[in-house]
Structure 1
């Protein structure tokens, strides 16, 4: 009996040893190579760094044993895809070096942002260049809040980065005065976030829909494909009217106040309380705040003159022109075409002014008028032929905004089923 027990113990021990020997093989089979930018990283020595001030593509490669005849050859071969002279300080890059004793650079990867990169492969006699885009995952998000101070501060308190705040400001620039938001106004926005590898935030995507509750009104915005041929998307309200109009409401996006309005009977102490008409609307803001063109057009004047200080005047069409006074600096020249929203200068105190602001003047048929009271032309609404499609498209989006959930089709009642029969 004792011999049997010893034999069983030996067999169990031998069996466990065999299992132990098999384990490393199974673990080795589970290990997969690490692939980055299409390369097996295990085959190279990897250098990751950031371009320093004063560094060039040539100095970086020279440091990794690629010499200038080869560098010039690379630059010439890839110039149609990538201009090596345009590498910028602060941009990250990756270099794949050979694993032999020379550790020579074989691949250079220039990262434009978190998603896009350019790959230069010169390990063989044929030099190759290609653009690379990391696969991204789009996640739909929702943010809502109540304004207590300003919209930008509210968004910041909700953990939203400025990029999305600026996008919303652009969408509503024609219909909502963000300076005029009141305490207690609320908003709800459905938008997209981009992620790399399901966890690395890579920026914001499209804003699908939004609503602001302001002065007892719901101001909706729905993104819709207005022109399928040109692939143009616009934002419309719930009645299919385009939010964009010919003119923006203000020449400054955020952080301003209207310090003086258009007033033909204004009296100023400095001039002995004599009537001195004010033909503009003053938007007070910090020095250096960007000033934007309220509509597209051609710069008819860009100069410094008398009490106007630095100013820019833009002719939009045969009817309308706008003028922007007291700039610190001007960014555009006479004859230059500018698009709506382009920065044309910066807030300053040049000319006759008691504080930093831009005096915004609005001309109609050569006469200065009050832009805040002018009924400005709006852009075209959704085409009549597209309206049924538009209303069907926004139905679930509006439901989401109103009830904060995706609509679910109600089951048919017995009466409806009988009626169909």
Structure 2
């Protein structure tokens, strides 16, 4: 009996031992790694938005206005019937004169239905890079003007003059408009830029303008500038003196206005082709004396013509040898006139600011080439503007002077702390390029 019971106990212990060993073995076995499927999420493409429309919803056709193109011709080509075209033009004319305002070479976009006919449902015209006109006739007819998104980026630049300011900026890949603003707008009456000295230097804080984040349209404005000419410092700070009329002027660190009341020229980047001359003789007229009481600025057709000073438009018309012209009264003493325009922009009674575009260079009236004849009156008599002691621009008021000095304090600090970049010669630049290439 005892031996039989002992065998049973032995079997029990054996089973228990095997069970313990099995459990221990299972615990110490390496865990099996379960492969997890990787989930890849496909991001939906961003919708293409332009002019306030989701372009993915349309067949988009882009083109430019060509000779012979009219609003009606364009829409007929794109399956819109004449009765509807007439209705669209009638309802849109208060916003945009479709018949007269389309210019050859300007871009337009058609949004068309996504069907077999691709019928046009919306016409978008761009007179310039920034503005656009929408004529939407998808359901009801709507016409409106709008602008593309604009971004302004503040930048700084410095330079040391070797030859002239334009070449100095060009060597750095900077806009020539920056040279124009400093030479013809800001320091025009303070520094003679035709007599710059080698070693003169400048620092400038300015704003670049971009449309749709990508289209660079040039320098928008200069916030502040410092020019050292013949070792003499000249500061300039932009400041709004009249918020109602939006008038900006440049003043130095002591609040003295740097401008004169008049710009030196009504067009940018031009040359004088004929000066004011009361004894002028012309071969065409048998060398008879035919006084020239204006100053001719030669420029390509379509160049913007600017008002040289603030004032009110007294005439805007086309007449005889003057062609299209605009006349502006600036005060009781001075008037200016701008002849031979291709097209006038300013209207009688309109107040214009210095630098506002009042028309475009053309060849209307008696003219042998594209230019603007700039005429200048003082006390009702035509005179040579380059021989006049022209008045300074309006000084800053006492009430604004304290505000101005507080305003420029941090800007001057920023300007003073911009370091001049050392000039690099062509040999040094070439050596630096070779070193960089060898290192890479």
Secondary structure of the residue aligned to 2:89 is: helix
- Asked if structure 1 preserves the Cα contact closer than 8 Å seen for 2:225 and 2:237, the reply is yes
1:12-411 equivalence runs, <5 A:
12=35, 16=37, 23=40, 26-27=41-42, 30-85=44-99, 86-124=101-139, 126-168=140-182, 169-248=184-263, 376-404=390-418
Question: RMSD of the TM alignment (CA)?
Answer: 4.8
1:51 and 1:376 mapped to 2: Cα distance? 45
2:65 and 2:385 mapped to 1: Cα distance? 51
- Asked if structure 1 preserves the Cα contact closer than 8 Å seen for 2:241 and 2:247, the reply is yes
Q: Which of the two has higher C-alpha Rg? A: 2
Q: Deviations over 1:106-145 (max 9, x none)?
A: 1111123333222211111x11122232222221011222
1:339 and 1:139 mapped to 2: Cα distance? 25
| Larger deviation, residues 194-203 vs 219-228 | 194-203
Q: Deviations over 1:27-58 (max 9, x none)?
A: 1x543433322322222111122222332222
Secondary structure of the residue aligned to 2:260 is: coil
- Asked if structure 2 preserves the Cα contact closer than 8 Å seen for 1:177 and 1:249, the reply is no
1:230/1:253 CA distance change after superposition, 3 Å: closer
- Asked if structure 2 preserves the Cα contact closer than 8 Å seen for 1:221 and 1:235, the reply is yes
Q: Post-superposition shift, 1:87?
A: 1.3
Secondary structure of the residue aligned to 1:404 is: coil
1:285 and 1:127 mapped to 2: Cα distance? 45
For structure 2, the residue ranges without an aligned partner over 5 or more in a row are 1-31, 278-291, 322-326, 343-347, 367-372, 420-440
Q: Post-superposition shift, 1:360?
A: 10
Secondary structure of the residue aligned to 2:159 is: strand
1:130 and 1:287 mapped to 2: Cα distance? 34
Query: Corresponding residue for 2:286?
Result: none
1:110/1:303 CA distance change after superposition, 3 Å: closer
- Asked if structure 2 preserves the Cα contact closer than 8 Å seen for 1:219 and 1:237, the reply is yes
Q: TM-score, normalised by structure 2?
A: 0.62
2:215 and 2:126 mapped to 1: Cα distance? 15
2:382 and 2:177 mapped to 1: Cα distance? 38
Secondary structure of the residue aligned to 1:130 is: strand
- Asked if structure 2 preserves the Cα contact closer than 8 Å seen for 1:116 and 1:131, the reply is yes
2:190 and 2:71 mapped to 1: Cα distance? 48
Q: Post-superposition shift, 1:288?
A: 8.1
Q: Post-superposition shift, 1:182?
A: 3.1
Q: Post-superposition shift, 1:368?
A: 8.3
Secondary structure of the residue aligned to 2:395 is: coil
Query: Corresponding residue for 1:409?
Result: none
For structure 1, the residue ranges without an aligned partner over 5 or more in a row are 1-7, 263-279, 305-312, 351-357, 406-421
1:48/1:74 CA distance change after superposition, 3 Å: same
Secondary structure of the residue aligned to 2:157 is: strand
2:245 and 2:328 mapped to 1: Cα distance? 28
1:65 and 1:344 mapped to 2: Cα distance? 37
Q: Deviations over 1:60-94 (max 9, x none)?
A: 11111112211111111111212212111111221
1:388/1:159 CA distance change after superposition, 3 Å: same
Q: TM-score, normalised by structure 1?
A: 0.65
- Asked if structure 2 preserves the Cα contact closer than 8 Å seen for 1:96 and 1:107, the reply is yes
1:234/1:316 CA distance change after superposition, 3 Å: closer
Aligned residue pair count: 347
2:354 and 2:414 mapped to 1: Cα distance? 31
Q: Post-superposition shift, 1:367?
A: 12
